[in-house]
Amino acid sequence: AVERTLVIVKPDAVKKNAVGDIIRILQENDLKLLALKMIHMSKEEAKGFYIVHKDRPFYDELTDFMSSGPCVPMVFEGENAIAKVREIIGATDPAKAEEGTIRKKYGTDVGRNAVHASDSVESANYEIPYFFSALEIHNL
């Protein structure tokens, strides 16, 4: 099925000037870019985005990092986009990510792992409207 997924270029990868390369990689894999912006989240905004992880031991560290600098949320669309993007991005821990994946190329560790992507349709349905209104998502 054609799906939409939320991708975030995290603060570490924004600082590495990797935004353009990450967009290029995803677009070259037949994923259509429908929306993007650059934002610097507050701690509270980062906590709301990652609310599903609120009871995890890394929640505070994760939300500190995600509010430490600007990041670039984007919406991509394509056939099987959710699983496809996760494959292109690679494993959560960059040390375990396959050669050629975005996290292998730009990630540092499990926290500073360059990108986030929705892990299910349910997550995408929460994450996309967290950053984008209907008017900000373009039908290409």
Which amino acid is present at 36? Answer: L
In 3D space, the residue among 130, 112, 113, 123 whose CA is nearest the CA of residue 74 turns out to be 130
Q: Is 138 a catalytic residue?
A: no
Q: Work out the end-to-end distance of the chain between its first and last CA atoms, rounded to an integer number of angstroms.
A: 17
| Shortest spacing between CB 72 and ligand CMP, in angstroms | 13
CB of 29 to ligand CMP, least distance (A): 18
- Which residues participate in the annotated binding site for ATP? 10, 58, 86, 92, 103, 113
Q: Which is nearer to ligand CMP, 4 or 116 (CB)?
A: 116
d(CA 40, CA 42): 7
Binding site for ligand CMP (CB under 6 A): 53, 58, 61-62, 92, 110-111, 113, 116
Among 40, 53, 116, 138, the active-site one is 116
Q: Minimum CB separation from ligand CMP for residue 27, in Å?
A: 20
